[in-house]
Amino acid sequence: MIQVISVPAFTDNYIWLITNEQRQFAAVVDPGDAQPVIEELQRRNMSPVAILITHHHRDHTGGIEKLLEAYPGLPVYGPASEYIAHMTRALGEGQQVVLEELGLSFTVMDVPGHTAGHIAYYGEDSLFCGDTLFGCGCGRVFDGTLGDLHQSLQRIAQLPAETLVYCTHEYTVDNIGFAKWVEPDNAALAVRLQSCWELLDSGRATVPFTLGDEFDTNPFLRTHIPEVIVKAEEIAGRETHTPADIFAVLRIWKDTEYD
């Protein structure tokens, strides 16, 4: 059975250690910084078996080299269409990552948008999605496109509602603030905000969360909801004709007015 350990890094990043009930081995997801990972592995007397990368940004890849110095020979998985230093196994849509020591496997999903080659790892009712989907939000568009990101989020939305989402930043409370701009009368946002503050006040993360939480509160997955459509048209000053159009209006609005 999968177990996941969070390793905080920088100001708001999470590096994930995928392990199992025995907790002898772990796969490391998006290690932007090696030191906290090494310290956590040593503290728990665990050995890493792989590094899984979702995209090329430095806060997700910066620790690879030092991890390989500490643990030579680790396979480094990552997106085939992006350059990742030290990557040994390039991955694309539908490929499998089998972690034999853990008895776990994951399917690769192409989820471009935040970056052009972004991938995610899905399996064991869990999604490791990097910076594509956040709690109550989504990533900015860098070298991908708004259309790509919308399509990627729609693909993620087809996964089961009970899927646990492991994104890599603690952005949920801030994102709820924007979601309230979009849907001020959505009662689920107030409930989620209270839950998030209770978690944070007790020293816990708001991540992971279920995909079902996102269906109720994330405006970027609610582009079919009448209230969201009305708000997008109000902001755009025109009619919106497709969910992708509504998504683009919201993402640009957040980029220019909220962040």
pLDDT digits (tens, 9 = 90+) for 139-159: 999 999 999 999 999 999 999
Question: Which tokens go with 214?
Answer: 């996102």
Rounded CA-CA distance 207/165 in Å is: 7
Closest C-alpha among 205, 164, 195 to residue 15: 205
Contact assessment for residue 95 and residue 109, using Cβ atoms and an 8 Å cutoff? no
Q: Say which amino acid occupies 58.
A: R
Do the Cβ atoms of 51 and 26 come closer than 8 Å? no
Distance CA 125, CA 49 (A): 21
Per residue, the 3-state secondary structure of 13-47, as one string, reads: EEEEEEEECCCCEEEEECCCCHHHHHHHHHHHCCE
Residue 218 to residue 245: CA distance in whole angstroms: 16
Q: Which residues contact 149 (CB under 8 A, 6 or more apart)?
A: 112, 113, 114, 132, 138, 139, 141, 247, 251
- Residue 144: strand pairing partners: none
> Is residue 60 annotated as part of the catalytic site, yes or no?
yes
Architecture of 2-258 per CATH? 4-Layer Sandwich (3.60)
User: Which of the following is catalytic: 30, 33, 60, 245?
Assistant: 60
Any catalytic annotation for residue 241? no
| pLDDT tens-digit readout, 7-21 | 999 999 999 999 999
Task: Judge whether 55 counts as a catalytic residue.
Answer: yes
Return per-residue pLDDT of the chain as tens, 259 residues: 999 999 999 999 999 999 999 999 999 999 999 999 999 999 999 999 999 999 999 999 999 999 999 999 999 999 999 999 999 999 999 999 999 999 999 999 999 999 999 999 999 999 999 999 999 999 999 999 999 999 999 999 999 999 999 999 999 999 999 999 999 999 999 999 999 999 999 999 999 999 999 999 999 999 999 999 999 999 999 999 899 999 999 999 999 987 6
Residue 225 structure tokens: 């909801």
Q: Which of 229, 251, 253 is nearest to 145 (CA)?
A: 251
The active-site residue out of 30, 33, 56, 114 is 114
Binding-site residues for Zn(2+), please? 55, 57, 59-60, 114, 131, 169
The catalytic position among 33, 56, 169, 245 is 169
Of the candidates 33, 59, 148, 213, the residue annotated as catalytic is 59
The residue annotated as part of the active site, out of 110, 131, 213, 245, is 131
Quick check: is 224 catalytic? no
- Catalytic position from the list 57, 110, 148, 213: 57
150 classed as catalytic: no
Q: Which residue positions form the known binding site?
A: 55, 57, 59-60, 114, 131, 169
Annotated catalytic, 114? yes
Domain ranges of the chain: 2-258
Residue 79 CB contacts under 8 Å (≥ 6 apart), including other chains: 53, 54, 55, 56, 90, 91, 92, 117, 118, 119
169 is catalytic: yes
The 10s digit of each residue's pLDDT in 36-73 is: 999 999 999 999 999 999 999 999 999 999 999 999 99
Other CB atoms within 10 Å distance of the CB of residue 72: 7
Query: How many of the other CB atoms lie within 10 Å of CB of 28?
Result: 27
Q: How far apart are CA 247 and CA 229, in angstroms?
A: 9
